[in-house]
Amino acid sequence: MRKMRKMRGPKQRRTCWFCTHGIEPDYKNCEVLRNYVSERGKILPKRTTANCAVHQRKTAREVKRARHIALLPFVAENIHT
């Protein structure tokens, strides 16, 4: 007997949070940048965050800047409060 496959419709495209709110990523805005860092302290990929390519590159750069001046930690301890 053959397995029946579920028919999936077209995926709904998620939009970039920065494009919808009309702002740019900034290293001083740590509350927003914490959403783009995993629990282990890694920068989340584009497929997870649904950012456009331009804002994903800017977000990665701003996370690195915030880490460098100690606004965000490099390691995983106490990253999500």
Q: Are 33 and 70 in contact (CB under 8 A)?
A: no
User: What would the DSSP string read from start to end of 17-80?
Assistant: HHHHHT----TT-HHHHGGGB-TTSPBPPHHHH---HHHHHHHHHHHHHHHHTTSS-SSSTT--
Phi, psi of 67 (to 5 degrees): -65, -40
Q: What is the pLDDT of residues 33-49, one digit of tens each?
A: 999 999 888 999 999 99
pLDDT for residue 8: 74
pLDDT in tens, the chain (81 residues): 667 677 677 777 789 999 999 999 999 999 999 999 998 889 999 999 999 999 999 999 999 999 999 999 888 766 555
Q: Are 70 and 62 in contact (CB under 8 A)?
A: no
Ordered structural domains, the chain, with CATH: 22-68 (4.10.640.10)
pLDDT for residue 78: 60
pLDDT for residue 80: 55
